[in-house]
Amino acid sequence: MSAIYNNEMQEVIRRLLAELGEDPSREGLLDTPKRVEKSLQFLTSGYSADVDSVLNNALFTVDYNEMVIVKDIDFYSLCEHHMLPFFGRCHVAYIPQGRVLGLSKIPRLVDIFARRLQIQERLTSQIADTLLEKVQPMGVAVVMEATHLCMAMRGVEKQNSVAVTSSMLGIFRDDARTRSEFLELIKKPGLVDGPANHTLPPVACTVD
């Protein structure tokens, strides 16, 4: 079934090339449908990933209740409105409540949700909500900053714009000092006095 599906996707890509005015049979494009299909399968592999399997055997009972931060996690995703890339860095923190998560699992969790058709706001919330559900800490904080090619290459064509989104849950939402400590540690003090969940201008994607 997988081979049939792949062949169908490649045929769609051939038709798209033709609709764009290209000749899918010319030498440079002969293998393009296969390459694009393979690329899209990888870039959307988060749909088939299982969060519980990724986090399995990576939760450990530890008497530790200080902030855990993994910052500057590179991520790449596709804007669901134009299927153009947006990419940047993700900063994640949580305060354990008897259990900690293996550090390498946090970037993997980011990848699971980034490798889907996304908007940055939803991506930010999905990472935070999943950590809160699976680890059950006192709180979770996620800040994402990204460049969106749907803004840089087309539309408003603002090449230097960066979209920043955040999700603060639990103690990070309720305690300004905890939130401030996190934002200072990731060098985002300008967000300290803002709302706990927000998007700074410019917006992540303009649908046009």
Q: 3-state SS string over 33-58?
A: HHHHHHHHHHHCHHHCCCHHHHHCCC
Query: Is 148 among the residues known to form the active site?
Result: yes
Point out the catalytic residue in the list 79, 90, 126, 205: 79
Task: Give me the mean pLDDT over the 196-204 stretch.
Answer: 44
Point out the catalytic residue in the list 37, 82, 91, 205: 82
Residue ranges and CATH numbers for the domains of the chain are: 2-43 (1.10.286.10), 51-200 (3.30.1130.10)
Task: Give me the mean pLDDT over the 144-152 stretch.
Answer: 91
Q: Using one digit for the tens of pLDDT, what is the confidence trace for 18-38? A: 999 999 999 999 999 999 999
pTM of the model: 0.87
Q: Using one digit for the tens of pLDDT, what is the confidence trace for 165-190? A: 999 999 999 999 999 999 999 987 66
Statement: residue 159 has pLDDT above 60: yes
How confident is the model at residue 157, as a pLDDT? 66
Distance, CA of 91 to CA of 73 (rounded, Å): 6
Point out the catalytic residue in the list 81, 97, 136, 181: 81
How confident is the model at residue 187, as a pLDDT? 87
Query: Is 198 among the residues known to form the active site?
Result: no
Point out the catalytic residue in the list 37, 90, 126, 150: 150
How confident is the model at residue 150, as a pLDDT? 87
Query: Is 90 among the residues known to form the active site?
Result: no
Mean of the per-residue pLDDT values for the chain? 89
Point out the catalytic residue in the list 120, 121, 126, 205: 120
Q: Using one digit for the tens of pLDDT, what is the confidence trace for 126-138? A: 999 999 999 999 9
How confident is the model at residue 20, as a pLDDT? 97
Task: Give me the mean pLDDT over the 145-155 stretch.
Answer: 87
Name which of 151, 155, 167 is nearest 201 in CA terms: 151
Of 191 and 161, the structure prediction assigns the larger pLDDT to: 161
Q: Are residues 144 and 88 in contact, defined by beta-carbon separation less than 8 angstroms?
A: yes
Point out the catalytic residue in the list 80, 97, 136, 181: 80
